[in-house]
Every structure is written in structure tokens, then in C-alpha cells.
Amino acid sequence: WWQHWIEYVNQEQSNNTNDGSSVTEHGDYVGSSSLKRPAVIDNSDLIYDAASEETSIGVEIHDTLLEGRDYVLLPQEVWSQLYSWYGGGPTLERKVIGSGLSQTELAVEVYPLRLQLHVIPKGGRSTLRISKKETIGELHRKACEIFDLNLEQVCIWDYYGRRKHALMNDMDKTLDDANIQMDQDILVEIVNHVNGTTLAGSMTSIQDNGSSQRETTSFLIEPSKSSLSIAGGLSASKGTSRSNTTELPQIPNLASPVRELDNTYGTIGVSTRGATGGLTGLMNLGNTCFMNSAIQCLVHTPEFARYFREDYHQEINWQNPLGMVGELALAFGELLRKLWAPGRAPVAPRSFKAKLARFAPQFTGYNQHDSQELLAFLLDGLHEDLNRVKHKPYMKTRDADGRPDEEVADEYWANHIARNDSIIVDVCQGQYKSTLVCPVCNKVSVTFDPFMYLSLPLQPTITRTMTVTVFTCDGSALPYACTVTVPKQGRCRDLIHALSSACSLKHSEKLLLVEIRNHLIQKFLEDPLIMLSTIKDDDYLAAYKMPKLVKNTKHLQLIHRRREQETNDAQTTSGWKPYGTPLVSSISCDDVITRGDIQLLVHKMLSPMARTESLGQTDISDTSVSIAASDQSRDISSGEACTDSSISNSVNKESTYSEAVALLKLPLQLVDESNACIDLSVGEDKPVRLSSSSTSILVYVDWSQKLLDKYDTHYLENLQEVFNGPPNKKARTEPLSLYTCLEAFLREEPLVPEDMWYCPQCEERRQASKKLDLWRLPEVLVIHLKRFSYSRSIKHNKLETFVNFPIHDFDLTNYVANQITSQRQLYELYALTNHYGGMGSGHYTAHIKLLDENRWYNFDDHQVSPINEEEVKTPHAYVLFYRRVKTAGTSASNGAQSCAGYNHSSSQK
């Protein structure tokens, strides 16, 4: 009606803005019109039955209405005006209530709480609609009004699941704060004023331990004989309470309505001759597609389908404090049986959602949520409800201490099974190896942890080429450029590792990586965790081969300078300017260092570039005056971490080269603590005072033309950029492989600063590197593709990347670190959830393969339709469900399973 009225008053508006057309005070459109005036307002299709207006709860609207599709919300004034023009109805008033953590966000309460009131010992019952923001005191008043009781006569209990949970005696507390849920039971207990006790006496159905008559806990009020309900639908009887089932919209081709009882261990539903089970949809209760898609994937997991259709109540752990006293398992099992019942009538999972909201308040209401987060909660919750271990023993874990991985892994798994043993563990839990390495003391910690699913990043392992010029500090080789391939999202340690292999680094050597800018060392790249993405293609990098294993050393930076002329205001001046690439060596701080020692060390560093025919000529010590080191170069050299390498200050003076250089004094200038320069070409035996605060020593070598005749310095002048190739042709974009995502997940990475590891050897928290390896794979492997990125728990981006995931023969054999397992680890896709749209909204569906039919179906809430296998792969895939392909001789990979409970997980169809 609303849409018709909007079209009616807006028709031809753009063409008739000046023709005098208008809406009269009676709501009539004046002007040329092809649409008739709307009839009276008719809200009858929003409510169950006109007769329900006479009941105590007034007009009842359908439970599956969606705003914008089935109804619109109007301010009181707008409704009153429309009603005065057109009449009709009925009027459906709703309250505006506060919501959110601060209660400042306003929302219309379209569906107030519907509570089932039970009075004892009289045995009466009734249904009440009340806002969740009303107080417990108001609930007392309404209950007394319905049953004609005095306030002093009654005690009211939270009777959720037909068990006394809490006495509701805080009259100012709201029902929302008391965690009262839709369609739950409330017990009204009449008190005997004579002795202060209840008149109920001994009632086995109200035992607080919840162990008596447990088979009836899933029943609510049975409709009277005069009521009629369709499959999975609400009773529409006059003057009677509703059963805990939900109304269906009119859907074509449904079987004739029959009565259905909510029995936990057996369901009477719509029967269609020759129909295949498992093709039942779930009604969307309002942004519940996230829940529907996850439920359908779990329901169609063969092991769960068999387990919950059998008598599983013997395995329910009623006392587990980490569980939901079996209620989540019962609710899920009941819903699964409905979905596997013959017929195609959709099911409205309102009862299941109410229990979900009770135990997981984050899913309360009708906002959109993350289906993977719901899935994680369901798997954990079902595991705790069905945990066969009633009393968890205390298990002390031991460190690996060099023991074989197989022994340690089996020990960890046995400890885990001793405390966690359920159908969920049997089917969905695997084990991975976690290796932590301390970046300071290299302490290695190995643990083996269980996992329920794998969350894989969608960052592809894209590589880049990087060119680094490698220098030796012992005079053994000329500098040379080395180009390596590294991960684009890698770190400095990846670059150093690649360079070490490319330049055949000896075991006794290490590489010191630096960034060069303006012929000076800009910074030392000693932190192995520096992201390579911070290094640009037009940067200049140098790596210096240094001996390792020697401590208490300083870096000696040899900065090259040459005289350059500058013209300013018609005056020409000359000065020494840095040029070329600095050289770096290590010098020991333990011994007394003389000026002659530094001369010999620099000679050794420059020796590969020496023109041997010129060495024997006269001394060319240059007496030029050197300026003091600039503040910039001093800042660069200060504050750097001291390395643990050193080079011997002794030189074999018996060699021909040493005899020649003894005649040659290099014009070296040492920058001291006061930023003044000391001439190292005189006073060969004078000791050099090294700065205790700085980790680097700056030495300038001033290259005069005479000195350049002795050395070929062009090797220092041709430093290559990190990447200086031609622009890449835009390569054909290859889809991201699921294997690539898995490799990125298993790649070694440092822990985030917020998750530092306490190193038992250092006795400090360290940003250790972490490496994961798959060790034991489950029967059903759940893979979550991390499409959403978060900032402070708030989603702020979604990746629409297409992931090429295999449907058949997903081979994980080479990714399992446990080499004792000889069988191939093959998996086949049987279900997945999809997310369409953007952040905070969108829509979830599920693609599921019915294994009996060997056919794929699309589950889009209540609509179920067949699809081709080619349609399964889309950029919207979010959570993938794989099941192990059984081969001859394959055994359960997650270890020996418990024989006390469910033993069907080893057989597959």
C-alpha cells in the first residue's frame, strides 16, 4: 500500500511541476493521473489472524517480516494523517527504545518479547507481549493482572528451557538486562503466606539440576485442538498460546499444512513422496543470512548429519562450566533434524537464534554479523556441550628439549584429548607445529597446538628483484652488484638470506646491510624484521662482508671525498665533498688502536682497487686541510647498535703489498668526539681515542689527483639502484591460488608487538619469529579466507580477490611436516559460504554439494536451487569446507579416536 501511495503522489511529478497538480487536504492527487487513488490502508497481510486481536497479546504480526520489503516505519504524525485520509488498519504501534552500549542509539522495537507464562500450582498458562526495556516489576504487574493474583502472592522465575535459572526479584532491572529472550518460558509461582513456602510441592519437572525429565525440555506449549499450524509455522488459534514454531510466508508448491511438534528426538514434518532430504531452506529472520549460511554448511557435513540424527543425548555434558548445559547442542540437533526431514518447506530458526543470543549476546538482535565468527562460536560451543570428558584432568606440558618432534607432538595431542574429546574434535580438529625463535639469544621453543580451522591471508606471495652492491672489508675482492629475488612482502632477513646464498657467504662471515644516500650511510639495516616494502626501487643499498663471532667492536666508516669547485657571486671556491660509496669494516675496542693501525686497515680495504704499478713510487701524503664532520654525518653515525664482528688490526707486513704501502701514507682524517678532525698521516704510533658513546668511527679519505693515480676508484662510483630495469609490461593477472594463501600462512613471520613472547632464556618479552607447520590434519578441514581487515576490532576493508581453490584433489601432502604419515593428504570441497557486498552489510549464501546426489545446490536463505559445479568458484567465497578423500589404507590423521562415543567418523559415503 505504501509503495502504491508513493507512486500515486509522485506520478508525472517531473513533467507536471507547473501544471498546478497537487495533493489535496484529503490526500487526493489533482492533475492528469493514470493511477487510482489508493484504497483503505490494509495491514491484514502483516498479521496472523483478525481473531488474534481479541487475545491478551493483541494484534500479532508475522515473525519473518523485513523492513523495506514487507513494511515501513512511520512517525505517529504521518500515520495519523494517512489514517485520516484513507482509514483502514489495523494500527500497529511500536515503541522506540534505547539500544547500544550507551543506550543512546534509538531503535524501533518491531518485535517485543513474547513470553510464555506458566503459573503453578494452578497450571494456567498464557502468552504475553512486553518490551525488553520494561522492568521486572512491570512483568510482575502484568502477570498478576493476567492470572488475577496479588503482587504479594507470586514469585517469578527465569524459566528458560523449563529450568529455574534465577529468581526475578530486582524490580527495577529491565528484562533486557536480565537476559530474557524471545519465546522463552517464565514461571509464575504462587507463594503460601502461612509458612512462606510455595504451594507447588514436589515437582519433578522443576528440578534445579535439570536432570529430570530431560526429554521434554525442548517442548513449550502445545496448541489446543482448535489450533492449526503449518509445517514449521506458528499456531493461529483463537485465544490460545502459540507453540515454539514460526510462521511461514506463502511459498508456492508447498505441501498441504500439517501439524508439527517440536520434539528434540523426532520430527513429524511435511512429507513429500520421493523427496530428497537436505534441501530445506532457512527463513531470514532479519539479517540472519550470516547464521543461515554457516548452519547449512555444518548441517550438510556428513559426520554431523549422522551424529545428530541418532541418539546423541547420552554424550551431552550437562555439567561442563565452559558449555551451555547442553542447550546449544539440543537446539542445533533439533534444527538439523528439521532440515533433514522429508519435504522442502523452509524452517524459521527463531528458537535456535534465541538460544544463540542467550549464550552469545554479541549475536543478539538483527544486525548483520560475520558468519565465520558465528561458525567459530558454534564449533566451540558444540564441542563443550558434547565433550565426553566430564572432569578435565590437569595436564602439565613439557618443553621439547631436543626430543623428536613425533614424540612431542603425540604427547601434546594425548594431553589435548585427555581434556577435549567430542564429535567436533573427531571431525574438525587438527594439529600444527609452532616454532618460536628468540631474536636475541636464538632460543627455540616448539609446541604443538590444536586448530579448528585455518584462517588464510589473501596477500599473494609476489616477488621483486633487488640489486645490492657487495663489498669485502678484508681486501679479498672488488665490489660487485648482486641481484636477488625476494618476497615483495618480505623482510630484511629474506634479503640477507638471498644475498648470502648468491654471494657464497662463508660460515664465519655475515652481511651488514646499509642504505646509501648522498654518498653517506643513511642507516644500518640491522633489524631483520624491517619490511622490504619500505625500501624503494630508487634507493641504493650496499652489503659488507664482515667476520662474525667477535664482540666489542665498532664500525669504521671510510667516507670518500674529493675537491670540487663552487662558483658563488663571481667567486670560485673549492672544498672537499663526499663522493662514491663508503666502505665499512670492524675495529676491535679491546686493544689500543694507533694511527698506523687505522692506516693499515684502510690500505687493506682499498687494496683490491690499487694500481700495483704505482705503489712503489714516492709518498703522496696530501697535507690538505680537512673540514670537520658535519652534524648530519655525525648524527648518522651515532646511536647505531654495536655489531659483534671485528677485523684483526695486524697485517702481514712480509708481503710485497705491505712493503709497498709502508711507503705510502694515506691522507686520512678521523672525526673525534668533539667533532674535530685528526690527521692520521702523521704520528703513526700515537694512540687513537675512540668515542665511548658512538658505535661508529668516521674516517675521511681525501682523494687528490695524485692519489687517484694510485687507485682505480670507479668501482666505488657505480653504485646501482635497487631496481633500475625497464618498466614492467603489465603481466597477465593470474588468480590467487589457495596453495599460495596456505604458503603465506605457513611462512615465518615475527610476532606483532602486542603479542610479544616471553623468552625463558632471556627472561624478557621478545618479538620472536613464529613459524607454523601443519602436523595433523582433520577429517573435515575448514578454511577461512581473510577477506575482512580490522582496525581495533572494527572492519574497515574487504578484499574482493578471486581465489582459485580446488574443488577436487586438494593435495596437502607436501604441506604436512609429519613425514611419518605416508598416505597422500587429499581433500574434496563439499560446502562453502559466500559473502556478497561491502562492509557492514552485504549478504551471505552457501554452496553445498549433496553427496548422495553428487550435485551442487545454492542455499540462499529459504531458496534452494541447483547449480553447476562451474558456478561454485566465485570471488565471493569466504569459508571453505573440505572433507578427506578416503583411499586404501588411509587412517584417521588426528590420532586415535575415543571409542566411548561416536565412532562413525571413520566411515564415509
Whole-number Cα distances in Å, 652 to 235, 476, 649: 103, 14, 10
Whole-number Cα distances in Å, 771 to 578, 746, 774, 815, 874: 44, 6, 10, 13, 31
The Cβ-side half-sphere exposure at 207, using a 13 Å CA radius, reads 10
Kindly write down the DSSP assignment for every residue of 15-42, as one continuous string: T-TTTT-EE-TTSPEESS-SSPPP-SEE
Between CA 239 and CA 642 the distance in angstroms is: 86
Q: What is the dihedral of CA 522, 524, 528, 533, to 10 degrees?
A: 10
Residue that the C-alpha cell 581473510 belongs to: 786
Is residue 185 within 8 A of residue 195, CB to CB? The reply is no
* Structure letter (DSSP) for residue 885: P
In whole angstroms, what separates CA 706 from the centre of its chain?
65
Between CA 816 and CA 518 the distance in angstroms is: 49
Is residue 87 within 8 A of residue 130, CB to CB? The reply is no
Between CA 251 and CA 233 the distance in angstroms is: 12
What residues contact residue 884 under an 8 Å CB cut-off, 6+ apart?
777, 778, 779, 780, 781, 825, 826, 827, 890, 893, 908
User: What is the SS3 assignment for 886?
Assistant: coil
Residue that the C-alpha cell 578427506 belongs to: 884
Pure H helices in 683-808: 705-708, 714-717, 738-746
Is residue 676 within 8 A of residue 628, CB to CB? The reply is yes
To the nearest 10 degrees (0 to 180), the angle between helices 350-359 and 289-299 is 100
Pure H helices in 152-287: none
The active-site residue, picked from 313, 497, 843, 904, is 843
Between CA 37 and CA 10 the distance in angstroms is: 12
Write out the three cell numbers for 178.
536480565
* Structure letter (DSSP) for residue 455: E
- Of 528, 524, 515, the closest CA to residue 486 belongs to 528
Is residue 755 within 8 A of residue 762, CB to CB? The reply is no
The active-site residue, picked from 118, 140, 165, 289, is 289
Phi, psi of 500, rounded to the nearest 5 degrees: -60, -40
Work out the number of other CB atoms within 10 angstroms of the CB of residue 211. Answer: 10
Is residue 328 within 8 A of residue 454, CB to CB? The reply is no
Between CA 334 and CA 315 the distance in angstroms is: 15
Work out the number of other CB atoms within 10 angstroms of the CB of residue 873. Answer: 18
Between CA 602 and CA 596 the distance in angstroms is: 10
Q: Identify whether 843 is a catalytic site residue.
A: yes
Residues with catalytic function: 289, 843
